[in-house]
A and B are shown apart, each in its own frame.
Chain A
Amino acid sequence: MRIDTGGATVELSVNGRRHTLPVEPRTTLLDALRDRLHLTGTKKGCDHGQCGACTVLVDGRRIYSCLALAVMQQGRAIQTIEGLAGPGETSLHPVQRAFLEHDAFQCGYCTPGQIMSAVGLIAEGRARDDAEVKANLSGNICRCGAYQNILRAVRQAADEVAHR
């Protein structure tokens, strides 16, 4: 299988919906989500895999979408921040609700990445205590320094998910 530099049409599954979109081989998953699909919840912080703002889930695992190529994501289930909540305001994901309750953000730019990373972390079963959360959320940095509240929010959400 080969795609020329000019690109091709690929099919991506995002938040449970199939999308057909034109991309070049060099189009990152991040740019495909933001620029082609207009899902701008996922943020471009550094574009080099050094900040975590671009974190999304692919097949349930958290990755940096800025270091992933869109053409390599065919056949995978991609989940972004837009795909977390159910319909209506009352069906926020426990992590989203916890971030609101614990004031776990200031400017909000790192927040979608923090939330997706936390969802991935909780699914990995590695949010059992503060040390574990800190170590395993280390791939998301926050210039506003909301870490303490992020930690509380993630612990709360993890407990809630564990007791469902």
Chain B
Amino acid sequence: MNPFAYARPEDPEEAIALLDADTTSSAIAGGTTILDLMKAGIEVPAQLVDITPLPFHDIEDDDARGVLRIGALATMSDVARHPTIRDRFPLIELALEAGATPQLRNMATIGGNLMQRTRCDYFRDPAFAACNKRLPGSGCAARDGENRKHAVLGTSDHCIATHPSDLAVALVALDARIHLQGPDGARTIPVEDFHLLPGATPHRETAIRRGELIRSVEILAPPHAARAVYRKVRDRASYEFALVAVAALLTIEDDRIATARVALGGVATKPWRSREAEAALTGAPPTHATFEAAATAALRDAHPRTHNAYKVDLARRTIALALTEATRP
């Protein structure tokens, strides 16, 4: 790793001031993404700002507003085993437990999980010159290279890198909101707007502004009757990122699908809420034909490359399976 200075602010204002003053400074919490990227030579901050002392660790049930607020510094493990999560947000527990490993989940934070970066091998190896994410304007080696794990949705001529988070897929399915605090004060944005499409600027991955910190993630509980499914397809049974992942939440009333939430991972450049699938599901009977129609709609705008065309069919089938599981009595 490159040599760097270490700062440990005592409060959010001090942390924000440090990060705002110096664009060569990065925040560190669990360290599982940033240290990995620093060892690979992808990120070379001159200073790491340790934000772990900040008061963003709590998981709070805000009964008055009916929301759950998860502090950005809560670890994946702590959130996954929290009684409220287990009881009322099973989709979040499923997504968290599907990701990483126990050791990583003990270290990694919710905020860090949202900030994690792609596993694209071209991005992660500086030996490859053509990476628009690492070096804007240099090209994209993955588009005509080995792209088996790359995205089929949300891609552009400049980047086809897959977003790797499981948790983020669950959060977009649940319409979560992110509370940010920065030099210009506090703001809240939908998690769906937090991650950006690569477009012509793949180096800009999130809506976070200079000096900003994620304070917490807020979620409204889904209807209690909703059955949550998180189905992750990957090369091995654990310790591996998704090739295709589906988060599904459905409620049935009078033999019709009343509410549907479908989000995809492993196939898109950002956590992918599929309103196309939801539109095909809402009001329809919970039958195999409906699920197949939803799956087809979800992948209609897919743009596969040479080695990831299999993802289109795999994603369709996984969506249909997830929906079947979500409606099993």
Chain A interface residues toward B at CB < 8 A: 1-5, 24-26, 28, 47-49, 52, 55, 61-64, 67-69, 71-72, 117, 120-121, 124, 134-139, 141
Contact = CB atoms under 8 A, between A and B. Distances in A.
Nearest to B35: A67
A26 B4 contact: yes
A4 B36 contact: no
Contacts of B28: 69, 72
Given A28-B35, A68-B31, A139 B6 contact: no
Contact of A49 (B8, B32, B238): B32
A85 to B, nearest CB: 22
Interface in B106-135: 106-107
Contact of B4 (A25, A47, A67, A121): A25
A120 B40 CA distance: 29
B52 interface: yes
Interface footprint category on B: 20 to 34
Interface stretch (B83-91, B96-104, B284-292, B299-307): B96-104
16 contacts: A1-B8, A3-B6, A5-B3, A25-B3, A28-B35, A49-B36, A52-B103, A61-B77, A63-B107, A64-B32, A64-B103, A64-B107, A67-B36, A69-B48, A135-B238, A138-B102
Nearest to A58: B106
Contacts of B106: 61-63
Contacts of B8: 1-2
B209 interface: no
B4 A48 contact: no
Contacts of B2: 26
A1 to B, nearest CB: 4
B166 to A, nearest CB: 14
Contacts of A25: 3-6, 48
B31 A72 contact: yes
B101 A2 contact: no
Which 4 A-B pairs give the minimum distances between C-beta atoms? A139-B101, A138-B238, A25-B6, A5-B3
Interface string B1-16: 1111111100000000
B5 A2 contact: yes
B39 to A, nearest CB: 6
B310 interface: no
Contacts of A28: 35
A20 B234 CA distance: 44
